[in-house]
């Protein structure tokens, strides 16, 4: 079951340059940042209601976020839906013809299991499913 929007991912060139807008102008609580090796990005977190804004800065030129920035520039990168069983959803969605980026859940930010659906199946928007671990605290 999909529960809520977990977070909205925004690709930026530099966290240092982009954090002030979200923290100081919008006034969102900034709760820290984390390197997500698997995605080749450093991710900064802002709380907004039951969801988060996540800014993604590429760790290097040969990363998915760097390639996204090259092609499309900074801006909306992905929307993430929180659910209770990423693996189960992936199997169901694949059965329904949805193209998956990840056939199996992998580690994401905040110790969550995540998986991406391919934008070809989602009207062009990279879509993430994520599942918090019941036993793990977030590390921000």
Residue 24 or residue 84: which is nearer to Co ion going by CB? Answer: 84
Per-residue contact string for residues 9-38; x = within reach of Co ion by CB under 5 A: x-----------------------------
Write down the residue that tokens 């694949």 correspond to: 94
> Hey, what are 116's tokens?
């991406």
For residue 99, give the DSSP letter: P
Burial class from Cβ neighbours inside 10 Å (0-12, 13-18, 19+) for residue 87 reads middle
Residue 37 or residue 95: which is nearer to Co ion going by CB? Answer: 37
CB 66 within 8 A of CB 74: no
Contact between 80 and Co ion per CB under 5 A = yes
Q: How far is the CB of 78 from Co ion (least distance, A)?
A: 6
Contact between 40 and Co ion per CB under 5 A = no
| Residues facing 107 on adjacent strands | 113
Contact between 58 and Co ion per CB under 5 A = no
Chain residues that interact with Co ion, rule: CB under 5 A = 9, 80, 128
């Amino acid at each position: 079951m999909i529960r809520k929007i977990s977070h909205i991912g925004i690709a930026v060139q530099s966290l240092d340059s982009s954090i002030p807008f979200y923290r100081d102008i919008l006034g969102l609580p900034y709760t820290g940042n984390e390197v997500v090796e698997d995605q080749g990005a450093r991710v900064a977190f802002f709380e907004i209601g039951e969801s988060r804004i996540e800014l993604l800065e590429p760790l290097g030129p040969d990363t998915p976020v760097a390639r996204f920035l090259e092609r499309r520039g900074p801006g909306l990168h992905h929307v993430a839906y929180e659910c209770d069983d990423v693996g189960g959803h992936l199997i169901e969605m694949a059965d329904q013809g949805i193209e998956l980026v990840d056939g199996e859940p992998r580690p994401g930010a905040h110790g969550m299991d995540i998986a991406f659906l391919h934008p070809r199946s989602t009207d062009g928007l990279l879509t993430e499913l994520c599942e918090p671990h019941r036993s793990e605290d977030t590390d921000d």
